[in-house]
Structure 1
Amino acid sequence: MSFWVVGLVLAAGLCIAFLFRHPYFLQDVQHLLAKLNVKRRVLQYLKTNYTILDRFLESVETRPNKPFLRFKDETFTYQDADKLSNKAARVFLQSGLVKEGETVALFLGNEPMYPWLWLGLVKIGCSAAFLNSNIRSKSLLHCFDCSGAKTLVAAAELQDAVEEVLPSLLEQQVTVFILSDTCSNAAAQSFTDKMSQASSEPLSKELRSHLTLRSPAAYIYTSGTTGFPKAAVVSHAKLWNACLLVCLTGVTSKDVIYNTLPFYHSAGFFGFCSVIERGITVVLRSKFSASQFWDDCRKYNITVIQYIGEIMRYLTNQPKKLNDQSHTVRLAIGNGLRADVCRDFIGRFGNIQIREFYGATEGNFSLLNYSGKIGAIGRDTFLYKMCFPHAVIKYDIDEGKPLRDSSGLCIQAAKGEPGLLVAQISMTAPFSGYARDLQQTEKKRLHDVCKKGDVYFDTGDLVLVDKDNFIYFQDRVGDTFRWKGENVATTEVTDIMTLADCIKEANVYGVEVPGQEGRAGMAAVILREGQRFDSTGVFKHVAKFLPSYARPRFIRIQSSMDVTVTFKHLKMKLVEEGFNPNKLTDPLYFLDEKVQNYIPLTLDMFSSVTVGKIHI
């Protein structure tokens, strides 16, 4: 055997051994190259000011008759969408009230008019503030004021909510349009009537000549689970980054994507923009329905679905049907999917490829679970960290800030140790912050992380990197609480609680107990239909799977659970209400380790706990 043959055999053997030891290496490199290509494309678009709108107009030219959006029994082609958005743009222009570079607030639910309005605004060089259609009164005024808008467009069915704040809007000389043919209030104008009379001819590109990819394309609000929502600035460059991340999941131009998520939320809007990038068809639904979800998928021949938060769990909780696997869905894209729900979903609805991603509306960093590892949000490799600088750092739950060493720098978290995820802010990974809120913007900037003078974006998320470099979401910083000197991640406890046979849904949080350090764990739960609370079974379950300090000391049985539009559990009110039987009508239970059971929490027992007679 020649020297060269021996060399080739040895080289092949070394390669095989390396891949055996690092089985994800090729996937890691492939994904990194794809992300670098996205970065290269966005930098190229920055030079030419090439926007998502430009991509849309190209599709109008090349595929004018292809279905762009389907809603109920209506189908709109790319050409239809172009003409209708031209009409919407002209209403703004002809009113003489919307000037170059201004923002218009949109207050409506999912309907075709939403994309027509946004596309129309970009065509005339303006941006939109996406108001949550569920907010009212002070919250509505706050969100409107954050945007800096002087014009509001609202759905007809939201007219009552608008009229409630109309005096305040008129004081600010705000122009109010209602999406109806006529208006019951003389202070508002009909948008639909004006739009029907407007021309659908193309608009001059000069109207948006001032736009750059650094310009705001939209303002999308945080969920406001810990106070008033903040308006995150979404630039045209960020739009590209977001929709190209979705495209890395394997979506092709032949797909039909089902979007049940609200447009005023980043997942719904970014998903819509990825439809434009791929030149595909989107099926829009006004509101998510677990009972009609799969019927819609069959009706429209859906191949890609979007999810967020608890949507997948709602689907798996539906009664089983013989046709559960009779559909054309091949891919699911989203975030917030728990590992147990993922397994249940795949086992029930077939081998659908799950692509979990991680990213914040206002953030400058994203991850994608390209390997398909159940429960992970991505991988933490040396190469990825070098190209997209980020860190997982130690965090002090009690102090509410990162731990620092003697030189004032942050301390890297060890493998298997939860830490705060932060991402370096740079020219290629900017953080635009929040509209008209410099204080909140600065709060998200973390200085002197890895070296003096650097600046990182604080995601507010605790994650864990395991020995194989998989990254797992642990909890939001504000949700984690400390008890008995240990940090308790509410997400982890929630996952365990919902595996109990009688519990359908759980919301875990920490409550103050007089005389005790930290917060004691409490769980508000909803029982499965037709089931009673199995106190002994639940105790055995939490005792088996949770350490003593993480076991909920109190359980509250509820008939329904308050959630945000993205199905995140609302905790603040529950935390404030605590475990006082005098204030609550819901059944309350207390963990009694002596009898190894959850027992009903009586008034006498409550008093004994609060004065320290009963130690917890």
Structure 2
Amino acid sequence: MILPQFLKTVQRDYRLLEGHAKTFVQLKRLDNKGATAGKVFDQYAKKHPNKVCFYFGQEQWTYKKVEESSNQVGNYFANEGFEHKDVVSLFMENRPEHVIMWLGLSKLGVVTALINYNLRFQPLKHSLDVGNSKAIICGTELTSAITELGKIKYPVYLSGTSTKESEEAEKNHGWKNLDKELPKVRTTTPQPKNPELINFRSNLLYCYTSGTTGLPKAAVITNSRFFMASYVNHYASELVEDDRIYMTLPLYHVAGGVLGLSQNLVWGNPLIIRNKFSATEFFRDCYNYKATAAQYIAETSRFLLQTKESEWDKKHSVRVMFGNGFRKDIWKQFVDRFQIEKITEFYASTEGNANMVNYDNTVGAVGVIPPFLEKLYPIALVKVNEEGELIRNKSTGHLIRCKAGEVGELIGKIVTNSPLREFKGYAADQNANEKKTVRNVFTKGDAYFRSGDLLYKDKQGYHYFQDRMGDTFRWKSENVSTAEVEAIVSQNCELRDVIVFGVKVEGYDGAAGMTVIADPRGDMDIGKLEKAIVKNLPHYSRPLFMRITKAIPMTGTHKLQKTDMAKQAYDLSQIGSDKIYLLLEGKYTPFTPELQEKINAKKIKL
């Protein structure tokens, strides 16, 4: 057994080192040329003008059409006075125009903030404000979400098929219709005011993340990070230029909008864009569009396995799927049923520099660091206590590396002015950046990014995800900030004491939201609160469970304590006289042992 295992790790390590070496050489070349995503895309488009770039429903967009359309966007906004370092928020559902808008703006050096199209009211306003936007580009399908905010301090530009709401917004608020304006603009490459400032290291996008420190923050994505994602995935997934990639993930998210889309813009892989994910249509679409690659997130694989077996399960041509969060317990079942040759599992975070990849299909692994490279590698697992605090060696004061089998927090070394190792962090939030940074880790003065994730490794260097730390939980493919949900709930129940946390539900990935509300007088209006929650929070942020209690324990410094109540979760045997409610079809229903049994038996879909 020793020799076969040795040969496996040798082959694995060779592929990993080869992939890293190729990526480093290519990124160095791009850095020297001052390359940007827009420039590299334009070069490819000029070589392959008639190749299909995007498939969207019955539409086919060639590389020439996408290049010219993005040039029109750049030229139009240049005429509007936008330039390098300005920020424009993009609020639009999945479609080719989503990419075209930010690609065109990038040619001016304008940074596009990709706004989650599920957001409404305060969370939406916060995301617009924190990015320091100068304008909003809004899909007409989302017009009402913007008008509901009341008076808007930014100019708004509409894109898409006109609706009653969008026509009224044009008339009453003076919003401009890009579908009317862009055809009047030239299709030649935009000429920015300061082209020397737009390069490999300049900012490209803001992708929002709840992180582990509170409300949504705008994580900075540079051109260099965009390219790094592209090259690492290309080599790890062994993609070739003619692979067609099926994309159902939201383009505002770094997984779909960077890891997946970069294969299309940099390598020329045609992208099949679907407006929304559909488990029943997934492999039928892959067959009809002749997709050979597809992207997933954790929940995708489970949703697909839940569908009834059909002819499309094996009729498709998908040979590789890439993404993150593939559950170890369903990995083999998924591969066997759908006949997928290769699963490329990544570990990465929106804002972080601690990234890994599973090169060799090892079931459940999120990445690998060969043991002989461990101390040279800019990523490490370090020990933390039960409260998530880093443990330091009493004699040296440095952090302590985890041994095989020990759970610890993943951290990534920060190297200033290195396009691959720097931590750009969050836009205009230095305090949050400091919270994600730990210093004097292994040597005096060094600095590392804190991922907030707990992992463990085995003796062969494979790393496995264990859990998330801090004030977020993950549900329905999205990270949810407990601070954001607590604020909405508290505001709509007369500022009562409120805590929110994630709870595990058998048979579901991630954690469902649960809120506990202090109601000492017993007079809270649950009906009023449920309407506010449904109105103000996207579906994945809404607490599925609500517990009403007399009081929430506090610390000596008047901080509400979550630990004990999070452990009790929705277990009716542990809550005494408190009441628990379950959100079903927009209504909070009293939670009973019968409902608990139905959830366990999968008779209720959450």
TM-score of the aligned structures, taking structure 2 as reference length: 0.78
Aligned residues of 1:309 and 1:568 also touching (Cα < 8 A):
no
What SS class does the counterpart of residue 345 from structure 2 fall into? Answer: strand
Please state if 1:242 is matched with 2:229.
yes
Q: 1:436 and 1:222 mapped to 2: Cα distance?
A: 14
How many Å separate the matches in 2 of 1:101 and 1:599? 53
1:11-410 pair list within 5 angstroms: 21=6, 23-96=8-81, 98-167=82-151, 169-170=152-153, 174-180=154-160, 182=167, 183-204=170-191, 208-223=195-210, 227-248=214-235, 249-270=237-258, 271-398=260-387, 400-406=388-394, 407-410=396-399
Which residue pairs with 1:435 in the alignment?
427
The 2-side partners of 1:374 and 1:150 are apart by 46
| Change over 3 Å in CA distance of 1:508–1:63 after alignment to 2 | closer
Measure how far apart 1:563 and its partner are: 11
SS in 2 for 1:472: strand
Pairing 1:474-493 to 2, within 5 Å after superposition: 474-478=466-470
Q: Is the 8 A contact 2:320 2:340 kept in 1?
A: no
**Cα-Cα RMSD:** 3.3
Q: Deviations over 1:503-541 (max 9, x none)?
A: x668479999x9xxxxxxxxxxxxxxxxxxxxxxxxxxx
SS at match of 2:148: helix
Gaps in structure 2 of 5+ consecutive residues:
474-502, 519-533, 548-561, 582-588, 600-606
- Structure possessing the higher radius of gyration over alpha carbons: 1
The offset of 1:223, in angstroms, is: 4.3
Q: How many Å apart are 1:424 and its aligned residue?
A: 0.7
User: Aligned pair in 2 of structure 1 residues 598, 378: CA closer, same or farther (>3 Å)?
Assistant: same
Change (3 A) 1:475 1:412: same
The secondary structure found in structure 2 opposite 1:185 is helix
Structure 1 residues 284 and 449 mapped into 2: Cα distance closer, same or farther (>3 Å)? same
Q: Distance in 2 between matches of 1:122 and 1:104?
A: 10
Distance 2:443 2:230 in 1: 32
CA distance in 2, matches of 1:505, 1:433: 28
Greater RCO structure (CA 8 Å; 6+ sep): 2
The separation in 1 between residues aligned to 2:288 and 2:212, in whole angstroms, is 36
State the 1:119 CA deviation.
1.2
Q: Secondary structure, in 3 states, of the residue corresponding to 2:18? A: helix
1:463 aligns with 2:455: yes
Query: 2: CA distance between counterparts of 1:318 and 1:286?
Result: 20
CA distance in 1, matches of 2:472, 2:24: 34
Question: Partner of 2:322: helix, strand, or coil?
Answer: strand
Q: What is the rounded CA distance, in whole Å, between the counterparts of 1:64 and 1:389 in structure 2?
A: 40
Instruction: Give the whole-Å Cα distance in 2 for the aligned partners of 1:217 and 1:72.
Output: 28
Amino acid at match of 1:133: Y
Give the 3 Å change call, closer, same or farther, for CA 250–176 of structure 1 in structure 2. same
Q: How far, CA to CA, are the matches of 1:160 and 1:68 in structure 2?
A: 31
What secondary structure is seen at the aligned counterpart in 2 of 1:214?
Answer: coil
Q: Does the Cα contact within 8 Å between 1:415 and 1:467 map onto a contact in 2?
A: yes
Which residue type is aligned with residue 261 of structure 1? L
Q: Distance in 2 between matches of 1:569 and 1:34?
A: 41
CA distance in 1, matches of 2:376, 2:273: 36
Cα contact 1:125–1:209 (8 A) shared by 2: no
Match of 1:527 in 2: none
Cα 1:419/1:188, change in 2 over 3 Å: same
Contact 1:101–1:125 under 8 Å retained in 2: yes
Measure how far apart 1:36 and its partner are: 2.6
Shift of 1:120: 0.7
Aligned partners of 1:461 and 1:476 also within 8 Å: yes
Give the paired residue count. Answer: 511
Note the residue ranges of structure 1 that are not aligned, 5 or more in a row.
1-15, 482-492, 499-503, 515-559, 591-596, 601-616
- The offset of 1:472, in angstroms, is 0.4
Change (3 A) 1:564 1:224: farther
Post-superposition offset of 1:34: 1.4
User: What fraction of aligned residue pairs are identical, expressed as a percent?
Assistant: 30
Instruction: For 1:125, give the aligned amino acid.
Output: G
Shift of 1:303: 0.4
What TM-score, normalized by structure 1, do the two folds share?
A: 0.76
Offset from partner CA, 1:430-470 (integer Å, 9 cap, x none): 00010111111111101111122110110111001112221
1:555-580 Cα shifts (integer Å, max 9, x gaps): xxxxx9x9989x79978978779545
Corresponding position: 1:448 with 2:440: yes
The answer to whether the Cα contact below 8 Å between 1:464 and 1:471 also exists between their aligned partners in 2 is: yes
Q: Distance in 2 between matches of 1:203 and 1:61?
A: 15
Alpha carbons of 1:383 and 1:303: their partners in 2 closer, same or farther (altered >3 Å)?
Answer: same
Relative to 1, partners in 2 of residues 1:564 and 1:268: Cα closer, same or farther, differing over 3 Å? farther
Distance 1:322 1:64, change over 3 A: closer
Cα distance change, pair 150–509 in 1 and its aligned pair in 2 (3 A): closer
CA distance, structure 2, for counterparts of residue 263 and residue 480 of structure 1: 21
Query: Letter of the aligned partner of 1:315 in structure 2?
Result: L
Deviation at 1:344, TM superposition (A): 1.9
Residues 72 and 599 from structure 1, CA distance in 2 versus in 1: closer, same or farther, beyond 3 angstroms?
closer
In 2, Cα distance between equivalents of 1:100 and 1:349? 46
- Give the AA of the match of 2:53: F
Cα shift at 1:87: 1.4
Q: How does 1:488-527 map to 2 (within 5 A)?
A: 497-498=506-507, 507=511
* Matching residue's letter, 1:79: K
1:231-266 CA distance string (max 9 Å, x none): 000111111111112112111101000111111100
Question: 1:280 Cα shift?
Answer: 1.7
Structure 1 distance, partners of 2:37, 2:216, is: 26
User: Aligned to 2:220, what secondary structure does the other structure show?
Assistant: strand
Whole-angstrom CA distance in 2 between matches of 1:461 and 1:563: 25
Shift of residue 494, structure 1, vs aligned partner: 5.5
Q: Structure 2: how far apart are the matches of 1:93 and 1:380?
A: 46
State the AA in 1 paired with 2:200: L
**Residue 325 of structure 1 aligns to a residue in which SS?**
helix
The amino acid of 1:143's aligned partner reads S
Q: The residue matched to 1:402 in structure 2 has which SS? A: coil
- Aligned counterparts of 2:542 and 2:421: Cα–Cα separation in 1: 30
Separation in 2 of the partners of 1:454 and 1:253?
Answer: 40
Q: CA deviation at 1:204?
A: 3.1
SS of 1:80's equivalent?
Answer: helix
